[in-house]
Structure 1
Amino acid sequence: MYTIGEFSNIGKVSTKMLRHYDKIGLLKPNYVNPDNGYRFYTKDQVQIILLINKLKRYQFSLQEISNLIHNSNDNRTQLIKLLNEKVKNINAQIALYKFLLQDIEDEIKRLKNGGDIMPSKRNFEIKIDEQKVISVVSIRKTINMEEIGSVIGKAFQTIHENGLEPAAQVMTKYYDENFDPESADIEICIPVNKTIQNLTKDFGGFTYVHTTYVGPYSEIGEAYAYLTDWIKDNDYEIIQPPFEKYIKGAESGCSPKEFITEVCFPIRKK
């Protein structure tokens, strides 16, 4: 057997992380001395820690890794499925970085040609509509915003597993009063073609003001500011958290300059 220190060196994992794996049930020591609490690991567990390291490098979450290791029902098929999803996600990230590189190069050219450092101010068209009640599959979670793609993916997986079909654009609802991109309380909502008890929920039944923003998400704040000012200036009040509808995004393969997002605020007259 190996002590936790020896196993830490073998697996290139800190003892703190090994204790965390034990706590969440991912990898428990083979034996714990009842007198002093010392943890011991076996030779057979070396392959497990190496597998965990490999899957973490492939950007698997600890929950995904735990499901694979502890699920004896054809985990090979499940691993292939998850690996294909990772390939898809990584290719999407590569595409975004290519667009980002092009944007940076274009920005350098613009500045060299005398362009202003600050982005140009835009005018937005404001519309007021009624959001009818629709059925959505939703996932509410506090996440780092870089993880939003995986949450959307899980929502689509739920839709497909239950024989549903998406009926409109993906939406994200933002619950935080003070937005923190590293810890954002969001809800992904995907409209679907029918209602299923304990699976779908109602969305809508309110008046909302909205505008269309075209461009990268990093500059969408201008649309939020424009709408916030319009609401104040026209004696409305916000009655629910704002949400976004993704009309055209990364999945279309277009440049972030061409992303189309509908920014929406549920409102009522004061």
Structure 2
Amino acid sequence: MYTIGQFSKIGKVSTKTLRDYDKISLIKPSFVNPENQYRYYEKNQIKDILRINKLKIYKFSLDEIKQIIQDKSNETLKDLLQKQVNHITKEIEYSNNILLELKDSIEKLKKGDDIMTYKRIFEISTYTLEDTLVLSLRNRISMDNIGNLIGKVFENIYRNNLKICGNIMTLYYDEDFDETNADLEVCIPVNKELQNPAIKTRILKGGLFAHTTFVGPYSEIGEAYAELTDWISKNSYEITGAPFDKYIKGPESNCSPDEFVTEVYFPITKK
């Protein structure tokens, strides 16, 4: 048997962490001396602490690790591994998007271009959209984590054997936008209604929208929002709900951020 200090060195975790694991029944000592409360661990527990360490590297929470260890069938492990693959894939896509923008900005500066000057011309029109069945998730998150929310929607679609029937859309509900705490909803059109109470499909209401197409990196899409807001005011309309972006062409196309295509829609009505 190993003392808690010896087991700490073997498992490369602190004795405090081992005591915390004991409290939540993640890994408990095989024997506790009733006289002095010294904890002891057996050799066959080494594989358990090493497994916990590996799962922490995969960025699983302690609650998730406990579920994995308790499920001897490994079904929980398979599900959570796939969830984490989707999550990290979206993080990589988001980081790659930023990397592409950085490289593109460097090339523009080398050519003497001003990367902070915007000269786009927008064609704005009204457009009537039909009601659309979507699977969606709404949350208040940092914009840095939007890829994670998109990944969760895709995960729910695949897990429930739904078919994707359109482009990803993101609705923005805040009146005063907060990049670090944005109230947004990611929607993906699907082929059928889901009868799962935990994961719901809903109807995204159609109607009259002011619409334009933005070509360029996501960091500059505010230019399209400004043009749409001005156009709506000048043409005696008013905004009636949350605007949304529809992603037509993005990082998955392996193109420059200058070639990203995003449609922007504002729900409107005549004053």
Aligned-pair distance for 1:47?
6.0
TM-score, normalised with respect to structure 1: 0.76
For 1:251, the equivalent position in structure 2 comes to 252
For 2:155, the equivalent position in structure 1 comes to 157
Candidates 121, 124, 130, aligned match of 2:119: 121
Aligned-pair distance for 1:108?
2.3
User: What pairs up with 1:117-266 in 2 under 5 angstroms?
Assistant: 118-197=116-195, 198=197, 199-266=200-267
Amino acid at match of 2:216: G
> Across the two proteins, how many residue pairs are aligned to each other?
258
Any conservation in 1 of the 2:4–2:15 contact (CA below 8 Å)?
no
Aligned-pair distance for 1:227?
0.7
For 2:72, the equivalent position in structure 1 comes to 72
Distance 1:241 1:252 in 2: 28
Aligned-pair distance for 1:29?
6.8
**5+ residue gaps, structure 1:** 32-37
Answer with 146-155 or 169-178: which moved more. Answer: 146-155
For 2:33, the equivalent position in structure 1 comes to none
Q: Secondary structure at the match of 2:212?
A: strand
Q: Secondary structure at the match of 1:128?
A: strand
TM-score, normalised with respect to structure 2: 0.76
Aligned-pair distance for 1:168?
0.7
Distance 2:251 2:207 in 1: 29
Aligned-pair distance for 1:96?
3.2
Call closer, same or farther: CA 1:269–1:87 in 2, change over 3 Å.
Answer: closer
Any conservation in 1 of the 2:27–2:48 contact (CA below 8 Å)?
no
Aligned-pair distance for 1:157?
2.0
Q: Secondary structure at the match of 1:257?
A: helix
Answer with 143-152 or 56-65: which moved more. Answer: 56-65
Answer with 248-257 or 194-203: which moved more. Answer: 194-203
Deviation per CA, 1:188-238, whole angstroms, max 9, x where unpaired?
Answer: 100012223453110123211111001111111101111111111122111
Aligned-pair distance for 1:179?
1.9
Q: Secondary structure at the match of 2:163?
A: coil
Bigger-Rg structure (1/2): 2
Any conservation in 2 of the 1:143–1:182 contact (CA below 8 Å)?
yes
Any conservation in 1 of the 2:142–2:181 contact (CA below 8 Å)?
yes
Call closer, same or farther: CA 1:127–1:63 in 2, change over 3 Å.
Answer: farther
Q: Secondary structure at the match of 2:174?
A: coil
Call closer, same or farther: CA 1:153–1:86 in 2, change over 3 Å.
Answer: closer
Distance 2:117 2:220 in 1: 9
Deviation per CA, 1:22-58, whole angstroms, max 9, x where unpaired?
Answer: 99x6948779xxxxxx9x8967877666545544444
Distance 1:151 1:62 in 2: 21
CA RMSD across the alignment: 3.8
Q: Secondary structure at the match of 1:200?
A: strand
Fraction of identical pairs, as percent: 44
For 1:34, the equivalent position in structure 2 comes to none
Deviation per CA, 1:120-173, whole angstroms, max 9, x where unpaired?
Answer: 232211021112111100111122222222221221222222222111101011
Distance 1:57 1:140 in 2: 28
**5+ residue gaps, structure 2:** 31-36
Amino acid at match of 1:191: P
